[in-house]
Structure 1
């Protein structure tokens, strides 16, 4: 079951349609990346911690996006490899270190909101939700201000796509190659001049029955957090923006060993005061 050409522009109608059919459906995201799409909240929460799934491809080489020589990345590793790398990352996220980042995060958020205050209407994704984390991570990694537009463009191409899933593959591979080259250069510069900065698909490890879907060993499983966070069985009126929603068991930070390492940041950003 292929995805519609406009899926990357607005995935929710297709995700809602699939969830209504079954919580797990066959899918082809793009050539070379087919498998099973999970759209239900229950499986979206439990599968990331399921030992019957692995992040590593059966042949050790196939990856759904990008050239094989880029990785594996932290998101593509299982323990103990994942544990070793995650331990290195955790050193940069001590309580004191994270608390020290808060003024910078709130300052970036306030600046973006100030820009929005001059517009009658604006796209919150392109003008706030996307540039905010990119700016914060750029600060964290010590990316020079004059180079951040390059990082923003590459990140945009990695996270979004136009022209449908098939065209998105080429954009993603190009963006990954450019990002890899840039990060190698940045790391080389940081080694020469150190500073204080810091430089979701899985595979079935065995035959599985996922809510009636017969998944064979080695087949790929794509967990859609977008769909899980709009599951009407968990979130009444899921398409409605409700900042007072309670309880709100969203999966935006993932779950299990791959959950986001610094979840306080979005809370800081959300609580940043709007400019006058």
Structure 2
């Protein structure tokens, strides 16, 4: 196997990305690639290797993973405030923070939000009614999860537009770095003000729960609190935006698929799992760093090397999934890596799945004749290495 660094495969056209990744799975399943920062990382593309990499205790988190560090672009207090969440730290701190956060982000709190998610969905669909053409991302896929998250956290709904600007700048920062520093500074300042207000006037929301979260005498530090709210606001809504957008595109791309889900709504829970597998909302894991020499798929990984796991590629691995390149709404549910694996598995996955199921039930019921407004080939994907989502989804509601 060649170990010479290659150009970043994620720089290719998004529509061709699956083909690029399929070739890598076949020919170079663990490949050293060049990152936009100029650093190199080992890209893992097969399911079995990906699963092992995500649970390898020798692969940990560092503040400069991938040759990228917030400390190089924002004041130290801002960098610290966005670098102490569960995706950036290792045990035992990770174990402690996840335990504290899980105590506030309970299954009961998520399940109790179902009626409100359904109500918000219906309200957005009411606003879409009668439109000749609209962008489903702007009209539905973005506002639904951000409204849900704002209410769950206790964030004023009038701040949604600001969150979208900040979030877009942050998730595309790897390819559009100029907008990243002001977005980070702005979102940290906002979260600090929000936490101060919640300390004075606590409520029955997740943010108040995080402030009060404790395990005996242990509780979240200020930086950990800000970092966790930052993680929830960015990752917590972006994944659901992409699940709804990507999934609707796949269903509408072949009208008989859409017609079938309209006719058989009981398929939707299973369909959500297949949509997550086939075109998941997160294309790559966050970076790992080899804390000691290790091995992945027969390839030696030296200490200090960066590792990037392609979740998108792993979920199309034919050694794991039969007919992996086919979208099969009847596929038996088989665990996939759409939300990661191991200790960093996405804490918000149950909420994203719930929102996705509610969204597809609502869309197919209210707009059974919906169709794409442009050819599939004209629909563009957002830039970046981490997330897999659309810039827009033009539809005719019908």
Q: TM-score, normalised by structure 1?
A: 0.82
| Distance (whole Å) between structure 1 residues aligned to residue 132 and residue 337 of structure 2 | 32
Shift of 1:35: 1.1
Higher RCO (C-alpha 8 Å, min separation 6): 1
> Contact 2:41–2:308 at 8 Å: present in 1 too?
yes
Task: Tell me if 1:29 matches 2:29.
Answer: no
Look up the match of 2:148. 136
Match of 1:251 in 2: 337
What's the secondary structure of 1:30's corresponding residue? coil
244-253 or 138-147: which moved more? 244-253
Q: Which residue of structure 2 aligns with residue 108 of structure 1?
A: 120
Q: Which sections of structure 2, spanning at least 5 residues, go unmatched?
A: 1-5, 72-78, 208-285, 367-398
CA–CA separation in structure 2 for the residues paired with 1:8 and 1:81: 39
Distance 1:40 1:266 in 2: 25
Shift of 1:212: 3.0
Taking the aligned partners of 1:245 and 1:114, their CA distance within structure 2 comes to 33
Distance in 1 (alpha carbons) for counterparts of 2:112 and 2:130: 30
Q: Which 10-residue stretch deviates more, 214-223 or 126-135?
A: 126-135
What whole-Å deviation, never above 9, does each CA across 1:157-216 have from its counterpart, x for those lacking one? 33347xxx5x33334444333322221222122222222222221111211221132211
**Offset at 1:44?**
1.9
Instruction: Normalising by structure 2, report the TM-score.
Output: 0.59
Q: Secondary structure at the match of 1:90?
A: helix
Tell me the equivalent position of 1:150: 162
Query: Matched residue of 2:145: which SS?
Result: helix
Aligned twin of 1:18 = 24
Give the RMSD, CA atoms, in angstroms.
Answer: 3.0
Tell me by how many angstroms 1:145 deviates: 1.0
Aligned residue number for residue 56 of structure 1: 62
1:3 is the counterpart of 2:15: no
Pair 1:39 & 2:21 matched: no
Q: Structure 2: how far apart are the matches of 1:24 and 1:182?
A: 41
**d(CA) in 1 for partners of 2:176 and 2:101?**
29
One of 180, 187, 190 as aligned partner of 2:198? 190
Unmatched 5+ residue regions in structure 1? none
Q: Cα distance 1:94–1:4, how it changes in 2: closer, same or farther (>3 A)?
A: closer
Q: 1:96 aligns with which of 105, 108, 127?
A: 108
Q: Alignment length, in residue pairs?
A: 270
2:147/2:157 contact within 8 Å kept: no
User: In 2, Cα distance between the equivalents of 1:224 and 1:214?
Assistant: 18
C-alpha separation in 2, matches of 1:189 and 1:28: 44
Contact 2:66 2:287 in 1 (8 A): no
CA distance in 1 between counterparts of 2:136 and 2:292 reads: 42
1:226 and 2:312 matched: yes
Give the structure 1 partner of residue 254 of structure 2: none
- Tell me by how many angstroms 1:121 deviates: 6.9
> Within the alignment, does 1:270 sit opposite 2:270 as a pair?
no
What SS does structure 2 have at the residue aligned with 1:206? coil
Bigger helix fraction: 2
Q: Which of the pair has more CA radius of gyration? A: 2
Q: Residues of 2 paired with 1:238 and 1:171: CA distance? A: 37
Q: How far apart are the structure 2 equivalents of 1:228 and 1:122?
A: 33
Q: Which residue does the alignment assign to 1:73?
A: 85
CA deviation map 1:230-251 (0-9, x unaligned):
2232234444443332133211
Match of 2:91, SS? coil
Q: Judging changes above 3 Å, is the alpha-carbon distance between structure 1 residues 62 and 220 closer, same or farther for their aligned structure 2 residues?
A: closer
Distance 2:343 2:41 in 1: 22
Cα distance in 2 for residues equivalent to 1:233 and 1:125: 34
Q: Is the 8 A contact 2:44 2:309 kept in 1?
A: yes
